């Protein structure tokens, strides 16, 4: 099949950008979305033209590198699916697909579909860890954790840091990303000791990194490819109130 693409091209942060038309020809149903883009780039490169810049790595939905808006929706049409796991069988011959980068003040554009998500690292640096040095940890089974709690922590820890939650939010808030880490660690005994300082520091880092505020509309949950639940934000807010109260 052939599909028509409208792809955001922008040579650099200061350069003007716009949608450019391409046609991907000979697309097979088994191709992934990225393989379809590869094929467009192959044609461009063979002609000596600048290929569309995008970054991808594992192509299995776990590294979080590739993320774009597909027809206005982060990661495209399928729920709980990263766009690298989207396959072209989802499309019909002659369809038109609009592909744009994440848009958020905290994610400045680098080129075409590539944005800078360093702000997520900054949020983790503010407290997304337990303060233990290597060596000297007690025996792993000395910390008992009920299976249900471990499972819940894992549900939050599954976040791949792709940024879809920010891109899908009209305020470009990073609340879902931040709260997933806070929830993961605050559920576990290992993380509880630092919970009050962590939540305050991480929220502050989130605010100063240029992300918008959360108005609880749930678009982030709807577009998250890993199904991270809105409950995480509720947990974060609860932890935050607890921390402020404790710090008073």
Partner 1 sequence: MTLDPKIPSGPLSDKWDRHRFDSKLVSPANRRKHTVIIVGTGLAGASAAASLGELGYNVLSFCIHDSPRRAHSIAAQGGINAAKNYQNDGDSIYRLFYDTIKGGDYRSREANVYRLAQTSVNIIDQCVAQGVPFAREYGGQLDNRSFGGAQVSRTFYARGQTGQQLLLGAYQSMMRQVAKGSVTMFAQREMLDVVLIDGKARGIICRNLVTGQLERYVADAVCLATGGYGTAYYLSTNAINSNVTAAWRAHKRGAYFANPCFTQIHPTCIPVSGDDQSKLTLMSESLRNDGRVWVPKNAGDKRPASEIPEAERDYYLERKYPSFGNLVPRDVASRNSKAVCDEGRGVGDSGLAVFLDFQNAIDRLGHATVAGRYGNLFDMYKKITDEDPYTVPMRIYPAIHYTMGGLWVDYNLMSTVPGLHVLGEANFSDHGANRLGASALMQGLADGYFVIPYTLAHYIASTPVEKATTDHAAFAESEDNVQSRIDRLLSVKGSKTPRALHRELGHLLWDEVGMSRTEAGLKRALARIPELREEFWQNVSVPGDANNLNKNLEYAGRVADYLEFGELLALDALHRTESCGGHFREESQTPDGEAKRDDDHFAYAAAWEFQGVGKTHELHKEQFVFENVKPTQRSYK
Residue numbers 57-116 binding partner 1 by CB under 8 A: 57-65, 81, 85, 87, 89, 110-111, 114, 116
- Residue with Cβ nearer partner 1 (50 or 71): 50
- CA 92 vs. chain centroid, Å, equals 27
Q: What is the CA radius of gyration of the chain?
A: 20
Q: Could you tell me the smallest distance in angstroms from the CB atom of residue 217 to partner 1? A: 27
Q: Which is nearer to partner 1, 138 or 248 (CB)?
A: 138
Per CB under 8 A, which region of 34-42, 92-100, 170-178, 215-223 contacts partner 1? 34-42
Which position among 126, 172, 195, 220 is part of the footprint of partner 1 (CB under 8 A)?
A: 126
Q: Is 11 one of the binding residues for partner 1 (CB under 8 A)?
A: yes
14, 21, 94, 147: residue in contact with partner 1 (rule CB under 8 A): 147
- With respect to partner 1, which residue has the nearer C-beta, 2 or 125? 125
Span interacting with partner 1, options 33-41, 94-102, 214-222, 229-237, rule CB under 8 A: 33-41
Binding partner 1 (rule: CB under 8 A), the pick from 16, 92, 134, 247 is 134
DSSP, residue by residue, the chain: --EEEEEEEESSTTS-EEEEEEEE-S--TT-BHHHHHHHHHHHHHHTTPPPPP---S-SSSSS-----EETTEET-SSTT--GGG-BGGGS-TT-EEEEE----TTS-EEETTEE--HHHHHHHHTT-S----SS-PPPGGGS---HHHHHHHHHHHT-----HHHHHSTT-B-HHHHHHHHHHHHHSHHHHTTHHHHHHHHHHHHHHTT-B------HHHHH-TT---THHHHHHHHHHHHHHHHH-
Nearer to partner 1, 119 or 175 (CB): 119
Residue 59 beta carbon to partner 1: minimum distance, rounded to whole angstroms: 5
161 touches partner 1 (CB under 8 A) = yes
Shortest CB 53 distance to partner 1, Å: 6
User: Which of positions 167-186 make contact with partner 1 (CB under 8 A)?
Assistant: 184-185
């Amino acid at each position: 099949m052939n599909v028509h693409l409208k792809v955001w091209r922008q040579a650099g942060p200061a350069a003007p950008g716009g949608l450019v038309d391409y046609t991907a020809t000979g697309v097979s149903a088994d191709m992934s979305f990225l393989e379809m883009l590869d094929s467009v780039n192959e044609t461009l490169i063979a002609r000596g033209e600048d290929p569309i810049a995008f970054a991808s790595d594992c192509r299995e939905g776990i590294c979080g590198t590739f993320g774009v808006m597909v027809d206005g929706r982060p990661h495209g049409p399928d729920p709980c699916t990263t766009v690298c796991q989207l396959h072209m069988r989802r499309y019909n011959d002659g369809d038109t697909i609009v592909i744009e980068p994440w848009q958020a003040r905290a994610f400045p554009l680098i080129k075409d579909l590539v944005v800078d998500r360093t702000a997520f690292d900054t949020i983790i640096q503010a407290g997304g860890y337990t303060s233990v040095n290597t060596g000297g940890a007690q025996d792993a089974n000395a910390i008992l954790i009920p299976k249900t709690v471990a499972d819940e922590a894992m549900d939050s820890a599954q976040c791949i840091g792709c940024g879809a939650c920010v891109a899908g939010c009209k305020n470009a808030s990073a609340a879902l990303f931040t709260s997933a880490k806070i929830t993961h660690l605050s559920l576990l005994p290992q993380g509880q000791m630092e919970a009050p300082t962590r939540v305050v520091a991480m929220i502050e880092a989130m605010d100063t990194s240029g992300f918008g505020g959360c108005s609880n509309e749930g678009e982030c949950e709807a577009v998250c490819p890993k199904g991270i639940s809105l409950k995480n934000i509720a947990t974060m807010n609860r932890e935050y109130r607890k921390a402020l109260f404790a710090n008073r």
